[in-house]
Amino acid sequence: MDFFVTTAAPARQRTDCAIVGVFEKGELSAAAAGIDARIGGRIARLVKRGDMHGKTGDLLVLADVSGAACERVVLVGLGARKNLRRKQYRKALTAALAAVARTGARDVVSYLSLEAVGDADSYTLARIAAEVAGHTAYRIPDQKTSNKRPKSTLTRFGIAAGARGDKTQAERGLEHGRGIVAGMSLMRDLANLAPNVCTPTYLAGAAKTLAREHRSIRAQVLNEVDCRKLKMGSFLSVTAGTEQPAKLIVLEYRGGKRGDAPIALVGKGVTFDTGGISLKPPPAMDEMKFDMSGAASVFGTFKAVAELALPVNVVGIIPACENMPDGRATKPGDIVKSMSGQTIEVLNTDAEGRLILCDAITYARRFKPAAVIDIATLTGACVVALGTHLSGLFSNDDDLSEALERAGERSDDRAWPMPIGEEYAEGLKSNFADFANVAGREGGAITAACFLAKFTDGLRWAHLDVAGTAYVGGSQKSSTGRPVPLLVDYLINQ
Handedness of CA 399, 404, 405, 407 (dihedral sign): positive
* Beta strands 156-160 and 107-110, pairing class: parallel
Q: Which helix (H) or strand (E) holds 297?
A: helix 293-308
Residues 6+ apart with CB under 8 A from 87: 412
| Start-to-end Cα distance in the chain | 27
Give the containing element (helix H, strand E) for 202.
helix 200-213
Query: Measuring CA to CA, which residue among 199, 368, 212, 338 is closest to residue 269?
Result: 199
From 254, 280, 337, 406, the catalytic residue? 280
354 is catalytic: yes
The distance between the two most distant Cα atoms of the chain, rounded to a whole number of Å, is: 83
Directed axis angle between helix 484-492 and helix 398-410, to 10°?
Answer: 110
How many Å separate Cα 199 from the centre of its chain?
Answer: 20
Close Cβ partners of 277 (under 8 Å, ≥ 6 residues apart): 241, 325, 329, 330, 331, 332, 349
Catalytic residue among 188, 268, 354, 454: 354
Exposure string of 262-297, with b = 16+ CB inside 10 Å and e = fewer, is: bbbbbbbbbbbbbbbbbeeeeeeeeebbbbbbbbbb
Q: How far is CA 150 from the centre of its chain?
A: 24
The SS3 of residue 162 is coil
Name the helix (H) or strand (E) containing 17: strand 17-23
Give the number of other CB atoms < 10 A from CB of residue 232.
28
**Alpha-carbon separation of residue 455 from 355, 357, 360 (angstroms):** 11, 10, 10
Q: Give the span between the Cα atoms of 46 and 66, in whole angstroms.
A: 16
Residue 166, Cβ neighbours under 10 Å: how many? Answer: 20
Contact partners, residue 410, CB within 8 Å, separation at least 6: 124, 489, 493
DSSP string, 307-367: HHT-S-EEEEEEEEEEE--STTS--TT-EEE-TTS-EEE-S-TT--HHHHHHHHHHHHGGG
Cα separations (Å) of 458 from 266, 368, 372, 436, 437?
17, 10, 11, 22, 21
Q: Which residues are catalytic?
A: 280, 354
